Amino acid sequence: AVVSTQSGHYGRGDKLRLYLSYQIGLENHVMSIQLIRPLKIRSPADAHIECSAKYDLLDGAHVEYGASKQLTEYSRLAALVRIGHISGVKLKLTLSRGSHSYRFDVIFSDVIEPAAVLYGTFLPVFVYSALHWLVINPYLNRLKVSLVTCYLKSDVSDKMFC
């Protein structure tokens, strides 16, 4: 038998969301608090940062923080750093595309170390920025130029095939 509940509180103007939850079971009890701040880049669901603190009897206490970004209409990328005295420092990378989700767990350390926390925090930001500026932006610029040249070269009837 498991008893669980979750309550949410929305801040002023939906700028900050706070969730409190607990779960009581026969083997494990879980309490958590989660704080989410949407970043309105293009739309409210485009990106958000989150921070949470959880305590359960099996894994002990841990803190999680991370970010999530909507890449396209159907894909989302998330990176979450988990720091706990039993679990150590872990990085959870999640790519969701349509109904499929791909999750990669990277264990930086079995104990809490400042270097592992720094690597877990800044490595995903650095890799995403490098890929964005070295691969994604040049590809999108080339695609835009090819679409414009195709549109300018074709006549009115062929413009829907560019």
Residue pLDDT, tens place only, 96-146: 998 999 999 999 999 999 999 999 999 988 988 898 899 888 988 998 898
Statement: the pTM of the whole predicted model exceeds 0.85 = no
pLDDT for 4: 66
As a whole-number percent, the residues of the chain with pLDDT over 90 amount to: 36
pLDDT for 112: 93
Considering only residues 45 and 29, tell me which one the structure prediction assigns the higher pLDDT: 29
State the SS3 of the chain: CCEEEEEEEECHHHCCEEEEEEEECCCCEEEEEEEEEEECCCCCCCEEEEEEEEEECCCEEEEEEEEEEECCCCEEEEEEEEEECCCEEEEEEEEEECCEEEEEEEEEECCCCHHHHHHHHHHHHHHHHHHHHHHHHHHHHHHHHHHHHHHHHCCHHHHHHC
pLDDT tens digits, one per residue of 76-93: 899 999 999 888 999 999
Considering only residues 125 and 43, tell me which one the structure prediction assigns the higher pLDDT: 125
pLDDT for 66: 95
Across the range 27-51, mean pLDDT stands at 81
